[in-house]
A and B are shown apart, each in its own frame.
Chain A
Amino acid sequence: MRIGMPHMGNLYIPFKALFQRLNIDFVIPPVNNQRTLSLGVRYSPEGMCIPFKLTLGNLIEAAELGADTLLMPAGSGICRLGYYAKTQEQILHDLGYNAEIVCLGVSQRKLFGLLKMIKHLSNNAPWSKIISAFRFGLAKLNALDRIERAVQKVRPVERVKGTANKLFAKAIEAIDQADDYNTLKRVQIGYIDQLNQVTKDSEAQPLVVGIMGEFYVLLEPFSNLDIEKELGKLGVEVRRTTFISEWTKFSLFLNPLGMNEKDRIHKAALPYLKRDIGGDGWESVGEKVLHAKEYDGLVHLAPFTCMPEIVAQNIMPSTKENIPVLTILCDEQIAKPGMLTRLEAFVDLLEHRRRVKK
């Protein structure tokens, strides 16, 4: 049994740590690239959203590397995501790969289901080993997100553009290499220190732009054409509420205890959208309402044909809380120059607004 799974940002690093510790045979497909996208687009139904196409490309590439058990998130009551695995399995079979898709039921199985599935994959390893490997994976995930948060702060104000990105790439590499808690801690502290010491423009008052929208396109830089880095280059500080570590913390550990990080967001959305509509639609409306006062502008990312985000996009202009929102729809047709032009125009608009306010 060889395991493969699709990419989403740096999620492969914690999973790699987990599988290595449990001696599970696994492959990591190449990070998202043009070939992944082309493969996905070629074999997907035409009206599908970009997360489906990219994950299908990943699964095909994993199957090419000999993976026969593929992990895919699934569940019910979300959006099309719950149906991905069924269709992708048929597509893979039609292409002649004899791979089985194992559904990661994130929405209903929660922590215990996940651990049980890992136990099954690891050929019944003892629970103690599974839990320790799982904890180590989580530690890596948290370290990655802590460093990313620091990078987001440094990007817009650094003197030499690109320093933070270079450090971030090195940090990812180092976290991937770390194989015990001590090294991991050292790496994390070391890189956050280095980021703090980067020479900064002390007078700069960067515009603050929140990015929100659909989970996958927010977290997978290939699908949003590195929008965070591009905004950083334009001297904009990016704030993002969605981090995988946050999501894991709440959906695996705190939600069963009745704590929900999104309650605040949902409450803000209530006057305009009364119910959960699946996906991240409710959160998108809520974040707009919530951040209208705090931020200078918002970038709303959504895959083309995403159902919940279309509803959110229709509702957002009617809110009383006013803030400029730039909606960018991501699909295989999106081109970088087009997106950059729109971002530049948006940033100009925000600067103008700030000047007028003063």
Chain B
Amino acid sequence: MIKVGIPRALLYYQYYPMWKTFFEGLGAEVVVSPPTTQAILSSGSSRVVADTCLPVKVFCGHVLTLVGECDYIFIPAIRSVKSKIYNCSKFLGLPDMTKAVIPESPPILDIDIDINQGKRELYQAIYKLGRRFTWNPFKVRQVGIAAWQAHLKYKQLMSNHGLTPPQAIERISNTTEVEPKTPPGNLTPTQATIAVIGHPYLLYDEHINHRLIHRLEQAHYKVLTPEMLTTEELESAITRLIGGAYWTYEEEVVGAGGHYLESGADGVIGIMAFGCGPDSLMMDIVHRRAARLRTTPFMSLTLEEHTAEAGVVTRLEAFLDMIHRKKRRRTEVCV
């Protein structure tokens, strides 16, 4: 059986159920790299030039763990998934870059996704990818549709049940029902909600963000993430803030940030990677919005491979203290 490796980094969190359905439908076995560790990060960053951003270093580390474990590695070049909205250069160059910095990697399955080229090009790209596994174009079509359905189901699961991508992936892969999260009604009145915004590959990689979400949950805060909002909510927030999206994954930052700053959260934490091109601008837009609104506190955390855990924890504590005090003052006034 052909083994297809998928690195647990970058777009894994957005599209894993879709990719898994696609490759398994074509009779391949899907191998996912283990969760990030320091060794994975170090091995990845030893391969690329120093100013490459953290998520790409992590990605290269994951590809290295898959060397020898699979026959192919799936690395799509996603240029655009919405009309006239493009992705960061690093996603576009990802297959070629991986080939250049990790020459020993198994053959790379790359596929160009560019909505602006028209549907025909997109379908042809998918067929080309599928034809490596089967001669039958109808099978590719059937599996492609099933993969798309899986993706929609995954997205719906996250927005309806308030699940994070790792939780949703776990629920999809386990047939047994995972116990549902505490419904929002059980919250004590003083309990605050914190929105964490940023790209999924930063929010849900517990190694690189030092278990930020886990820490917030431990401290009994309700955590909101971009996936819990509907597309309409995200898009309307983007329109209010800057008129229209420019980057493919802009809703995760500007959309979610804009929405949570205006409603639904007591504090917003923005997470970005050092040297991230799109984020350096998008986070600034959210920051400016927060400064203008003056209603919801906003903190931006920049992650890089040297980020010390103690530094993150100290800033988090100070931020939470501030929110706690603000909230207490408000309840006292109400009483």
Contacts and interface: CB of A to CB of B under 8 A. Distances in A.
Interface of A: 45-49, 76-77, 79-80, 82-83, 86-87, 90-91, 94, 272-279, 281, 304-308, 310-315, 317-318, 329
B257 to A, nearest CB: 14
A310 B90 contact: yes
B79 interface: yes
19 contacts: A48-B280, A77-B116, A80-B277, A80-B278, A83-B281, A87-B284, A275-B96, A278-B89, A305-B280, A306-B277, A310-B49, A311-B93, A311-B97, A312-B93, A314-B48, A314-B100, A314-B101, A317-B100, A318-B101
Given A45-B284, A47-B275, A275-B92, A83 B100 contact: no
A241 B77 CA distance: 28
B93 A329 contact: no
A278 B88 CA distance: 8
Interface string B264-285: 0000000010111111110111
B103 interface: yes
Interface in B85-99: 85-86, 88-90, 92-93, 95-97, 99
B283 A45 contact: yes
A277 B92 contact: yes
Interface in B233-270: 242-243, 246-247
B96 A315 contact: yes
Contact of A304 (B51, B100, B284): B51
B160 interface: no
A275 B89 contact: no
Interface of B: 48-49, 51-53, 77, 79-80, 84-86, 88-90, 92-93, 95-97, 99-101, 103, 110, 112, 116, 242-243, 246-247, 272, 274-281, 283-285, 287-288, 302
A318 B281 contact: no
A200 B116 CA distance: 54
B282 to A, nearest CB: 8
B89 A86 contact: no
B108 to A, nearest CB: 11
A272 B79 CA distance: 18
Given A94-B288, A274-B96, A275-B79, A47 B89 contact: no
A1 to B, nearest CB: 22
A276 B91 CA distance: 11
B97 A278 contact: no
Nearest to A309: B89
Contacts of B100: 272, 314-315, 317-318
Contact of A47 (B103, B280, B287): B280
B239 to A, nearest CB: 13
Residue among A87, A272, A278, A310 with the highest chain B CB neighbour number at 10 A: A310
B269 to A, nearest CB: 17
Given A80-B281, A86-B242, A310 B96 contact: no
B285 A87 contact: yes
Contact of B274 (A47, A90, A307): A47
Contacts of A76: 84-86, 246
B85 A281 contact: no
Interface-central residue, B103, B277, B283, B285, by most chain A CB under 10 Å: B277
B96 A47 contact: no
Contacts of B274: 47
B97 A90 contact: no
A90 B277 contact: no
B85 to A, nearest CB: 7
B193 to A, nearest CB: 27
Contacts of A45: 280-281, 283-284, 287
Given A47-B275, A47-B280, A76-B246, 9 more contacts: A45-B287, A47-B276, A48-B280, A83-B247, A272-B96, A273-B93, A304-B51, A314-B100, A329-B51
Nearest to A302: B51
A277 B93 contact: yes
A312 B79 CA distance: 17
Nearest to A312: B93
Contacts of B112: 275
A277 B92 CA distance: 5
A279 B246 contact: no
A315 B280 contact: no
Contacts of A91: 288
Contacts of A315: 93, 96-97, 100
Contact of A87 (B80, B84, B281): B281
Contacts of A311: 89-90, 92-93, 96-97
A46 B277 contact: no
B96 A273 contact: yes
Contacts of B53: 310
* List of 5 A-B pairs having minimum Cβ-Cβ separation, nearest first: A47-B280, A311-B93, A45-B284, A318-B100, A307-B89
A285 B90 CA distance: 15
B275 A79 contact: no
Contacts of A310: 49, 51-53, 89-90
Contacts of B80: 77
Contacts of B89: 79, 277-279, 281, 307-308, 310-311
A329 B52 CA distance: 13
A277 to B, nearest CB: 4
Given A90-B285, A305-B275, A313 B93 contact: no
Contacts of A82: 246
A307 B277 CA distance: 6
A49 B110 CA distance: 30
Nearest to B51: A310
A49 to B, nearest CB: 8
Contacts of B90: 307, 310-311
B280 A278 contact: no
Contacts of A314: 48-49, 52, 97, 100-101
Contacts of A272: 96, 100
A322 B192 CA distance: 59
Nearest to B247: A83
